[in-house]
Amino acid sequence: MTTQVKTSNLGYPRIGANREWKKALEGYWAGRTQEEQLRAEMDRMQLGNLRKQQEAGIDLIPVGDFTYYDHVLDTAVMFGIVPPRYRYEDRPAGLDLYFAMARGNSRAAACEMTKWFNTNYHYIVPEIGDLKPVLTENKPLAAYRFAKSQAGIDGKPVVIGLYTFLKLSKGFAPSEIRSVAQRFLPVYVQLLQELEREGAAWVQIDEPAVVTGLREEDIKLLSEIYGELHSAVPGLSIMLQTYFESAEPLEALLKLPVQGIGLDFVHDSGANLEAIERLGWPKDKTLGAGVIDGRGIWRCDPDDKLALAQRLTALVPEGKLILQPSSSLLHVPVTVRSEEKLKPEVRSALAFADEKLAELALLKRALLEGRDAAGASLAETQAALAAFRKLPERSRADVAELERGLAELPDRRSPAYAERAKRQQDKWRLPLLPTTTIGSFPQTPEVRQARLKWRKGELSEEVYDGFIRRQIADSIALQENIGLDVLVHGEFERTDMVEFFGEKLDGFLFTQNGWVQSYGSRCVKPPVIYADVAFTEPMTVKESVYAQSLTKLPVKGMLTGPVTILNWSFVRDDLSRERLANQIALALRQEVLALESAGVEMIQVDEPAVREGLPLKEKDRRHYLDWAVKSFRISTNLVRDTTQIHTHMCYCEFGDMIDSISDMDADVISIETSRSHGELIASFEKMEYDKGIGLGVYDIHSPRVPSVEEMETGIDRALRVLHPEQFWINPDCGLKTRGWSETEASLRNMVAAAEDARKKARAIQP
């Protein structure tokens, strides 16, 4: 039995148990509160988070993980990495500049936003270019001082590692990364030296980029970075923290001059444990063992985790083991305590952030005092998991029968796209460069209040349906007035593009307060797939048919695709993700066919999350893409050739998967390109894409209204590599989060830009 083991956390949810963080930010942006009030409220929330971890008995509590928007943006601003368009001078950046980089302002477009590795969180992409880094403000030091003075906590400062920061940044060629790193090393040294002088014992340097694969030049760069940092701060213990996958080659990381290495033992497919058993663990290093799932919501099997921890204690020198989550708890909701409406068998099987901290404490107790000391708690957990696993809806014979039938179904649509495109154009007679939107229109307070009253029973079904029909009618009329060519019904009846479908399919459940941060103040409440997924009845036909009845222009039916529903949900952990995607696809196929039968023959099946689910290891990506693409085709491959299938993807780097996008066999795809400033267009300079495509011409996540000229620039760039007959013009994403005035102004500018582009295209066509 070990006598020394500690617990640590890697990061805590920022948003608050009741989304207080979101409300504070949006109140400030709306002008309802002043900066002083915002800062006071943020301090209160930060202190509350620290005290909760303190009360849970966590030995090493992270500080510096709290942010006003995004931790990567914090790092960029801290080092003065502010694009020149913001007219910034070296000094601590004020909140207006900070939020302008995230959201844009009247003078400058926002910075690019993309996914944080393979999670549902978005970060703001640093734009380095020729900028010289300067430590304008030591944010980890300020957080360390705050924790110590306000809560008596000797915290563990959290810093994004230089290697990862550069891998996530843009504005320089990959071959220049070593020279750029040399520019940044002095400010990293300064930051750590100030922490060392302040008395910090440990600092957590997050380097998740190392799990994506290390080449010889990467290993050399890491050795140079950490060699210099170690020489500069010999009295500071550095925990080089990895997560989301196995750290390979581990032998290279073990040679780095750091005092500890944090490894993920949940999402590594067993590779980290195998490597330690093969290589041994150095006597001079501490192992931060990520044994509790930092991304999933299910209670851990205590016997499995205790067995793993005991194996690690046999491999790691006494006093060198720290138990911790596999990643920051940013990716899970705050607490299960408020989930009062779930059936007991499900509720007792859940563990959110606070419960995961309790799991760490229980595991530590069992290791230090023996299993018998924690026997009652361990037995209660095992009984709860056993009751959950026996639920009959987790093993449905009808769903299994549908899955077996997949082998007999056609894999692709027939005929091939080139022939379908001719028949679809004969049917629809769309103009050159057709305009459309991605699906949703603004969810005003009036819409949200009506839906809330309906859910509470304060509005009857008939009254609520009438309200939604009026919203649809108004949006159809507005789209016709603006001059759009293909319309949408606006999705006013939907809270969230995944939650809406989960509520109407079997196999899902919904929490009351299971919110997580997606980007900025945008929080989502992911559905929970806890059982087999099955179709019950049509989900979107009523609203789509009504919208189509109001206009002679085509109206798209709007669905969320199987992989996005999967990736944007918390999923059961006893089935493969491939099998779950196929279950969802089979259910969605019935909805697609129901829409087609009802006369809705343009159908958009959105898959914005395909790219974010891409495995971090290159060797695993082909298999994932194969089944992800297949699940999309399962949803859509039985429609008639004249039925036009659209899809949409956003906020990811798609250049390395264009072939798979084409293989989805959608007739039209729309892809976000506005925040990446058209960089994706370069992919089409290297390959010929043969299907319909819309590259989003303006950023809907910023409140600014782009000019006609700005959108024309993007259109002109795209038409250098795409034929006008295949190009669609649309915003880069849905418009749910925007206001009506900016939405209408932006769409009118977009239609004007499209008309100008048509005139240019006609002028040069033979």
DSSP letter for 170, please: B
Using an 8 Å Cβ cutoff, are 109 and 702 in contact?
yes
d(CA 592, CA 540): 9
Tokens matching residue 43: 């301090």
Sign of the CA dihedral 745, 749, 750, 754?
Answer: positive
491 known member of a binding site: yes
Q: Is 650 annotated as a binding residue?
A: yes
Structure tokens at 212: 């994506």
| Element housing 648 (H / E) | strand 644-649
Check if the beta carbon of residue 128 is closer than 8 Å to that of residue 81.
Answer: yes
Sign of CA dihedral 358, 364, 365, 371: positive
Ligand-binding annotation for 440, yes or no, is yes
| Inter-CA distances, 702 with 111, 699, 731, Å | 10, 6, 12
Cα–Cα dist 74/67, whole Å: 7
Strand partners, 557: 603
Around Cβ 319, how many Cβ atoms within 10 Å? Answer: 12
Whether residue 20 is annotated as binding a ligand: the answer is yes
663 is in an annotated binding site: yes
Residue pair 382/371 in contact (Cβ under 8 Å)? The answer is no
Asked if residue 22 belongs to a known ligand binding site, the reply is yes
| 477, 427 contact by CB (below 8 A) | no
Q: Which residues contact 616 (CB under 8 A, 6 or more apart)?
A: 117, 118, 211, 212, 244, 245
* Three-class DSSP labels, 125-177: CCECCCCCCCCCCCHHHHHHHHHHHHHCCCCEEEEECHHHHHHCCECCCHHHH
481 is in an annotated binding site: no
Distance CA 242, CA 486 (A): 46
Residue 573 is assigned to a ligand binding site: no
Neighbour tally for 614: CB within 10 Å: 21
Show which residues are catalytic.
701
Per DSSP, what are the bridge partners of residue 53?
none
* 522 annotated ligand binder: yes
Integer Cα distance of 59 and 53 in angstroms: 9
Q: For residues 580 and 79, what is the distance between their CA atoms, to the nearest angstrom?
A: 43
The annotation status of 21 as a binding-site residue, yes or no, is yes
> Cβ(325)–Cβ(292) under 8 Å?
yes
Would the annotation count 523 as a binding residue?
yes
607 is in an annotated binding site: no
Check the annotation: does 712 bind a ligand.
no
- The answer to whether 59 is a known ligand-binding residue is no
Ligand-binding site membership of 606 (annotated)? yes
- CA distance linking residue 548 with residue 559, whole number of Å: 16
According to the annotation, is 235 in a ligand binding site? no
**For residues 482 and 751, is the Cβ–Cβ distance under 8 A?**
yes
Within a 10 A sphere around the Cβ of 762, how many other Cβ atoms? 11
Is residue 115 marked as binding? Answer: yes
* Binding residue positions for Zn(2+): 648, 650, 663, 672, 733
* Binding residue positions for 5-methyltetrahydropteroyltri-L-glutamate: 19-22, 115, 120, 522-523, 568, 612
* Binding residue positions for L-methionine: 438-440, 491, 606
* Binding residue positions for L-homocysteine: 438-440, 491, 606
* Binding residue positions: 19-22, 115, 120, 438-440, 491, 522-523, 568, 606, 612, 648, 650, 663, 672, 733
